[in-house]
Structure 1
Amino acid sequence: MPDFAKRLLGRTKLQVTTLGLGTATMGGSRIPITQQSGQAIVTAAWEAGVRYVDTAPFYGFGAAERRVGDALRDKDRDAWVLSTKVGRLLRPRTDNAPSPDGRLSPLPFKVVYDYTYDGLMRSIEDSYQRLGLARIDILYVHDIGVYQHGKELNAHYFAQLRDSGYKALDELRRTGVVSAIGLGVNETAILMDALKIGDWDAFLLAGRYTLLEQAPLDDLIPECQRRQTSLVVGGPLNSGILAGRDTWNYAKAPPKIVDRVRKLQTVCDAHKVPLAAAALQFPLAHSVVACVIPGPRSAEEFNANLPLFTMKIPPSLWSDLRAQNLLHPAAPVPT
């Protein structure tokens, strides 16, 4: 079993393993995953030494939280860190109409967005019930921002968070109900906005600080360093494009992205290093990054990726990537 290093999350006392487990795919909204298979993914991660698990009500419309709780309920609760998310409430779905975005619904619920004080308090109470656990360590505000809601609707939701919802999060942290608060999103702009309205411990940023993309080095990461706010890197494989699939940002990758990945692949091939190994290890070179949390589709996929996270990568690979302008000039690399 790998001895994963642990890193402090922001200014909290929480320590997370540098490899965590993301459960978006495991919820079964994008591809069918059974209860048994979902729990097997969590169990495989636990047996490998992973001690940080992230989930959310949205993943499988409640299924991911149930599977995480069922798989880990008998483990020493002080031995691992759990994050879930707020911002979406699940309500009973009374029709069989397909989801407009093509998502599957393993459980019969639909989403109602609510970033108010009452909405966030209701959300955490609901999560306790689905998880069957009495403690949640980290709460992330889920999928707020223009990327998710569009400009006009996001202005409405951000006002809810600013004027009401943040008070709930701060209260939960101040009273010790949770140890850390943050946002879990796919874009950096909303994180820059959030830094103006509150004191955040960590941001779960999916897909934006990876071997493929490093724009946050221009604005978000320096500000996080100044504020002592950690980054948790979700989607380190950029929806699969860095692991041999053709998807990026949850859709078919455009030609510009495919071309950049091809260049990254060529350098990795020259050094006989799998592209996915370089992608999994790269984000952790930055001190602001606490961990990476890929979301495997099966226990077998998790176990197959495990050696990629620990394999030795020659320094010349990183210098060649930099020489070909495939890395941001300010991007630190693993040593």
Structure 2
Amino acid sequence: MNTTHNSPVIPKRRVGNTELEVDTLGFGCAPMGNLYQPISEEDAKAVLSAAWQAGFRHFDTAPHYGQGLSERRTGDALRPLQGKDYVLSTKVGRILKPAGYAKERHGFMSPMPFDIHYDYSYDGIMRSFEDSLQRTGLDRIDILYMHDIGRDTHGDDNDRHFPIAMKGGYKAMDQLRSEGSIKAIGLGVNEYQVCEQAMDHGDWDCFLLAGRYSLLEQQSLQTFLPKCQERNTSIIIGGPYNSGILATGVRGERTAYYNYAPAPAEIIERVRKIEELCDQYQVTLAAAALQFPLAHPSVVSVIPGLGNIGRIDKTISLFKQAIPNEFWQSLKSANLLDQNAPIPTSQSTEELAHAY
């Protein structure tokens, strides 16, 4: 990875009450774990190098992504920098244990011979953190997220996991933060309700929320996001395309995916109406999906998963695309956007466009 400093600079925002700043556009490293399809070592290295040259400095990975493969590849790319210039987040709550080789596990086509074991206890979080340092081969992790606590992942078993996580797990994360081993702590989940519940059990700097505040979904505006504003707790948005449907749209023969599954009819119809307004205002659907969440004052970054070099340039282009105010107002008039949702302004869009 070339470490020259003439790369484009992506605008930054501060995380909660910390001194840490992150790029408003981050690099989601799940594809580096061979999510749904294998990526060769050479291609993974090339993608991460191209991302750096394009200006990306905020990288998010996890032990779950390829059972350690994403952390290894991300660490290999960042190690030559010797800790300079980047912000790295990873996750805790899953311990990797030897399980033999398999073609696929949990959606990842990874060669790593491990499987996951959930452990949200104090000792489990500490072990997971140390394991991540070893896998990445780095001397620091900036943001540590508790991964996939909540009913969406665990079902009724969450009644057992959650108290352990909020007592022992939080204690470990808070200790690591107090010691300066990490700069910020939070949850990395697909449901805002568990984040809101966790706010009653600890002082969290940020939440990585996938898919639950997007161009399609704004229910989190009712109670959760106001609480984040009150406490100055930041939101990092994962899954801005809601598993793909806001990137592909619903036209053509291909299956549109929403929330990791084929989209239901009501979601397809809603996206179809949004696409019609996109046509009217000459706006790319994916650009609107990428830019919309950043209008909320609690949102500091959006991190789409990027698995090939072409998507890097395309994502930057979407991030910079000028979107007229009238488009957002039309979405509200058509009841396709919550009336209370903050919308991007011409000034904010211009700032993004001039970041490169």
TM interval, shorter chain, is over 0.9
Please give the alpha-carbon distance, in whole angstroms, between the structure 1 residues aligned to 2:290 and 2:13: 16
Partners of 2:179 and 2:160 lie apart in 1 by 28
Q: Does the 8 Å CA contact 2:89/2:143 hold for their aligned counterparts?
A: yes
- List per-residue Cα deviations over 1:208-263 (Å, max 9, x = no partner): 10111111100110011111110000011111101116111111111111111111
Q: Could you tell me how far 1:297 is from its partner in structure 2?
A: 2.2
Contact 2:83–2:139 (CA under 8 A) maintained in structure 1: no
TM-score (norm 2): 0.91
1:159 maps to 163
Within 2, Cα distance between the matches of 1:270 and 1:106? 46
- Per the alignment, residue 293 of structure 1 pairs with 303
Match of 1:198 among 187, 202, 212: 202
* Contact persistence 1:172–1:178 (CA under 8 A): yes
**Contact 1:281–1:334 (CA<8 Å) still a contact in 2?**
yes
Deviation of 1:102 after TM superposition, in Å, equals 4.8
Q: Does structure 2 retain, via aligned residues, the 8 Å contact 1:44–1:303? A: no
2:144 is equivalent to residue 134 of structure 1: no
Q: 1:213 to 1:126 in 2, by over 3 A?
A: same
Q: Structure 1: which 5+ runs fail to align?
A: none
Amino acid at match of 1:148: T
Matched, 1:122 2:127: yes
1:249 maps to 2:253: no
SS at match of 1:73: helix
Take 1:84 and 1:295, find their aligned partners in 2: how far apart are those partners?
14
Change (3 A) 1:318 1:266: same
Match of 1:320 in 2: 330
Deviations 1:107-157 (A, max 9, x none): 111000000000000001110111010000000000010000002x10111
Q: Percent identity?
A: 52
Rounded to whole Å, the distance in 1 between the matches of 2:180 and 2:342 is 35
CA contact (8 A) 1:180 1:201 kept: yes
Contact 2:242 2:258 in 1 (8 A): yes
1:271-282 alignment runs, 5 A limit: 271-282=281-292
Matched residues in 1 for 2:227 and 2:45: separation? 37
Task: Tell me, yes or no, if structure 1 residue 184 matches structure 2 residue 188.
Answer: yes
DSSP 3-state at the match of 1:231 = strand
> Following TM superposition, by how much is the alpha carbon of 1:96 offset from its aligned partner in structure 2, in angstroms?
4.2
Partner residue in 2 for 1:149: 154
2:59 and 2:308 map into 1 onto residues whose CA distance is 15
Contact 2:103 2:111 in 1 (8 A): no
Write the distance in 2 (CA, Å) between the matches of 1:56 and 1:314: 36
Q: In the alignment, which residue of structure 1 is the partner of 2:219?
A: 215
Shift of 1:98: 5.5
Q: Which one-letter code corresponds to 2:35 in the other structure?
A: S
Using a 3 Å threshold, how does the CA distance of structure 1 residues 70 and 98 change in structure 2: closer, same or farther? closer
Output the TM-score relative to the length of structure 1: 0.96
2:101–2:112 Cα contact (<8 Å) kept = no
In the TM superposition, what is the alpha-carbon distance from 1:39 to its structure 2 partner? 2.4
Q: Distance in 2 between matches of 1:56 and 1:287?
A: 26
Q: Structure 1, residues 252-301: CA drift from partner, whole Å, max 9, x if none?
A: 11111111111111101111111001111111011100000000221211
2:101–2:113: 8 Å Cα contact kept in structure 1? no
User: Aligned AA for 2:272?
Assistant: R
SS in structure 1 at match of 2:134: helix
Structure 2 residues not aligned, in runs of 5+: 1-6, 250-255, 346-356
Distance 1:4 1:227, change over 3 A: same
Amino acid at match of 1:55: T
Instruction: Give the secondary-structure state (helix, strand or coil) at the position aligned to 1:199.
Output: coil
Question: Contact 1:68 / 1:131 at 8 angstroms: preserved in 2?
Answer: yes
Q: How does 1:17-28 map to 2 (within 5 A)?
A: 17-28=23-34
Of the three residues 308, 312, 317, the one matched with 1:307 is: 317
CA distance in 1, matches of 2:281, 2:154: 42
Aligned to 1:90: 96
**Paired residue for 1:56?**
62
Runs (4+) off by over 6 Å: none
Report the secondary structure of 1:263's partner residue.
Answer: helix
Mapped partners of 1:131, 1:26: distance in 2: 13
For these two proteins, the number of residue pairs brought into alignment is 333
